Amino acid sequence: MTKISELDHRGRDAPQRAPTAGGGSAHSSNPDLGGADVAEVFARLFDTHARPLRGYLAGRVGEHAADDLVAETFLTALRRRDTYDPTQAPIRGWLYGIATNLVRTHVRQEIRGLRATAREHGRRADESGSGHDANVADRVDAQRSTQRLASALAELGQQERDVLLLTSWAGLEPAEVAAALGIPASTVRSRLHRVRRRLQAILAQSPTLTVVENER
Partner 1 sequence: MNDQTELDRALDELHREARTADAPLTDVRATVLAAAATSAPVARRRRRFLPAVAAAAAVAAAVAGAVVFVPDGPAPTPTPGASVAAPEPTTEQDVTLLSARQVLNDAADLTITAVDRPIAPGQFLHISEHGEHTRSWMTLPAVGRPESTTTGYTLLAGSRRDVWIPQDYTQEWLERRAVIGEPTWLGGTMPESEAPPMTPSDTDEGEWRGRCGDFFPLSKPVKVCGAPDDWDSPAFYQGLPRDAAQLHQWLIDTTAHRGSTPSGMFHYGVQVLRAGLMPADLRADWYRALAMIDGVRVFGTVTTPDGRSGLAIGLDEQRERRELILDPTNGDFIGERMVAGPEPDMSWIPPGTVTSLVSVTTTVVDVMG
Cβ–Cβ < 8 Å for 45, 70: no
Q: How many residues bind partner 1 (CB under 8 A)?
A: 90
How many alpha carbons fall within 13 Å on the CB side of residue 72? 15
2: left (phi over 0), alpha (psi -120 to 50) or beta: beta
Confirm or reject binding of residue 169 to partner 1 (CB under 8 A).
yes
Query: Interaction with partner 1 in 96-155: which residues (CB under 8 A)?
Result: 97-98, 101, 113, 117, 142, 145-146, 148-150, 153
The greatest distance separating any two alpha carbons of the chain, rounded to the nearest whole angstrom, comes to: 70
Cβ–Cβ < 8 Å for 31, 86: yes
By beta-carbon proximity to partner 1, the closer residue of 13 and 131 is 13
* Shortest distance in whole angstroms from residue 106 CB to partner 1: 14
Query: Interaction with partner 1 in 175-204: which residues (CB under 8 A)?
Result: 178-183, 196, 199-201, 203-204
* Shortest distance in whole angstroms from residue 3 CB to partner 1: 5
Rounded to an integer, what distance in angstroms lies between the CA atom of residue 58 and that of residue 42?
21
* Shortest distance in whole angstroms from residue 131 CB to partner 1: 20
Q: Which of 48, 55, 137, 187 binds partner 1 (CB under 8 A)?
A: 55
